[in-house]
């Protein structure tokens, strides 16, 4: 199984101000974890930035232009109380969306089976017209629209396992029956959306709120009973993962108790479905994860699973 890794030095230059949890060291932790010898088979790529036209497939054009115009020439600016930008933030956001779209191109055209995009800023809180929650543009939603528009796909599924609900992705895909959105997340927690009753305009939203302090058992039960059956019933042509690793028990921003093994377990279950339904096509893009050690270890297990590693290989 061939797996691509997309990243770029510009993601580290997105400076979010001192002490901000969505820090440049996050991408360092990810890339350090993926530099080990057992990741030698990863094919590494530098992405090109997304165009404004491509972002406008899911965002209002005036919003895209306003965000890019808000990038300061020096220092920092805050788009909301949480979302800080600096001179390279616009380039980083464009390259993040571009990375996920290029990953879609590669798997759609059969040049790779799976891909992981080690990008920042994250994307799943960005709505059609609001940048929020550390996010400027919605990478997963942009990539899903690109798959539909550029590759003639009929159904794309986005599965989001970040500990925070992807309100932005839900907002964007609410009335788009060709995109399924499945999310597990802690509730109550920021941003306050993601109730199971939120179903979308075509019943294309599947939310699995998890109570604080729940862990492996509750997560695996929810996916086994709700999330994975919904994914399978949708019969997607492509699966996009909004891969947040902040449900980990060590993460400082939330209160779930997942482990590295949980991320590998879930990734393998998704790959099983992808192998049966869509030629194994899975694209994953980094969302949250704010404990650097847990982030690196969890991403390592996730990417090993994307690469088709067996349980024995995972333990090496």
* Catalytically active residues, by annotation: 125
8 A C-beta contact, residue 83 and residue 136: yes
Angle (nearest 5°) at CA 30 between 27 and 33: 145
C-alpha count within 13 angstroms, C-beta hemisphere, residue 245:
31
Task: In whole angstroms, give the CA distance from residue 21 to residue 41.
Answer: 31
Name the pairing type of β-strands 282-286 and 156-160.
unpaired
Name the pairing type of β-strands 179-186 and 156-160.
parallel
C-alpha count within 13 angstroms, C-beta hemisphere, residue 4:
27
Spatial neighbors of 203 by CB under 8 A, at least 6 apart, are none
Spatial neighbors of 72 by CB under 8 A, at least 6 apart, are 85, 86, 87
Beta bridge partners of 240: 158, 283
CA dihedral 137, 262, 289, 64 (to 10 degrees): 0
The residue written with tokens 């798959």 in the block is 147
8 A C-beta contact, residue 14 and residue 134: no
Beta bridge partners of 195: none
8 A C-beta contact, residue 138 and residue 126: yes
Tell how far CA 193 is from the center of its chain.
Answer: 18
Q: In angstroms, what is the C-alpha Rg of the chain?
A: 17
- Taking alpha carbons only, the member of 79, 72, 33, 71 closest to residue 286 is 33
């Amino acid at each position: 199984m061939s797996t691509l890794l997309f990243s770029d030095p510009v993601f580290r230059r997105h400076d979010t101000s001192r002490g901000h949890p969505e820090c440049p060291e996050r991408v360092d932790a990810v890339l350090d974890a993926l530099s080990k010898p057992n990741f030698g088979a990863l094919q590494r790529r530098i992405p090109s930035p997304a165009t404004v036209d491509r972002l406008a497939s899911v965002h209002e054009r005036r919003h895209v232009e306003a965000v890019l115009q808000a990038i300061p020439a020096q220092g920092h600016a805050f788009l909301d109380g949480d979302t800080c930008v600096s001179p390279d933030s616009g380039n980083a956001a464009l390259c993040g969306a571009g990375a996920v779209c290029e990953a879609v191109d590669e798997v759609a055209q059969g040049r790779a089976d799976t891909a992981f995009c080690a990008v920042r800023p994250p994307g799943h809180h960005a709505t059609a017209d609001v940048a929020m929650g550390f996010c400027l543009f919605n990478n997963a939603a942009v990539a899903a629209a690109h798959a539909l528009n550029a590759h003639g796909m009929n159904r794309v599924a986005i599965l989001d396992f970040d500990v925070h609900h992807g309100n932005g992705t839900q907002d964007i895909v609410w009335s788009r029956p060709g995109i399924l959105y499945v999310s597990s997340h802690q509730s109550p927690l920021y941003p306050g959306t993601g109730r199971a009753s939120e179903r979308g305009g075509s019943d294309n939203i599947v939310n699995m709120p998890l109570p604080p302090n729940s862990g492996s058992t509750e997560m695996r039960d929810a996916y086994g009973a709700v999330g994975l059956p919904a994914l399978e019933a949708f019969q997607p042509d492509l699966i996009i993962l909004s891969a947040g690793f902040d449900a980990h028990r060590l993460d400082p921003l939330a209160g779930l108790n997942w482990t590295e093994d949980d991320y590998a377990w879930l990734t393998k279950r998704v790959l099983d479905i992808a192998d049966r339904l869509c030629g194994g096509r899975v694209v994953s893009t980094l969302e949250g994860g704010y404990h650097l050690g847990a982030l690196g270890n969890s991403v390592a297990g996730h990417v090993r699973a994307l690469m088709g590693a067996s349980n024995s290989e995972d333990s090496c």
